[in-house]
């Protein structure tokens, strides 16, 4: 089963909207088609961002966290510093956690620092994709 590390932008989208590819990834995890991995930082950042811009969705976030069999990756300071050689410092904890999780994909909406960052892809040893590309890559070939 594929291991997908999702960042806070994806978890935020899944909690905020009843549609879309981020929500589809959550449903795939419920159906045990994928393993979703997050870090404590991802959960904290998602909660903070939802509280600020969509507090009505916090109960749904709590439900998702309880219902989804998330795995957790918590990188060390040394792992974060190593990742920082390949990505903006603010995103180093995400890259480090995805690497520690041995993720097959890192799924994000971050076009500025992660998507299209070939140096981060190489460091991770996996592709960094948006939710749409993640879902499409997981569909069985016809």
Reported pTM: 0.94
Beta strands in the chain (DSSP E): 2-6, 34-38, 71-72, 105-107, 127-129
The helix/strand/coil state of 70 is: coil
pLDDT in tens, 113-140: 999 999 999 999 999 999 999 999 998 7
* Domain chopping of the chain, boundaries: 2-138
Q: Which CATH architecture has domain 2-138?
A: 3-Layer(aba) Sandwich (3.40)
pLDDT in tens, 57-95: 999 999 999 999 899 999 999 999 999 999 999 999 999
Mean pLDDT for 102-106 is: 97
């Amino acid at each position: 089963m594929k291991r997908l590390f999702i960042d806070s932008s994806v978890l935020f989208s899944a909690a905020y909207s009843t549609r879309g590819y981020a929500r589809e990834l959550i449903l795939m995890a419920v159906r045990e088609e994928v393993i979703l991995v997050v870090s404590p930082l991802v959960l904290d950042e998602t909660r903070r961002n939802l509280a600020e811009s969509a507090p009505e969705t916090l109960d749904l976030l709590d439900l998702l966290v309880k219902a989804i069999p998330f795995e957790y990756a918590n990188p060390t300071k040394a792992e974060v510093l190593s990742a920082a050689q390949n990505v903006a410092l603010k995103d180093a904890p995400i890259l480090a956690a995805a690497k520690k999780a041995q993720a097959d994909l890192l799924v994000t909406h971050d076009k500025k620092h992660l998507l299209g960052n070939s140096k981060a892809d190489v460091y991770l040893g996996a592709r960094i994709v948006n939710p749409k590309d993640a879902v499409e890559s997981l569909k069985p070939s016809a």
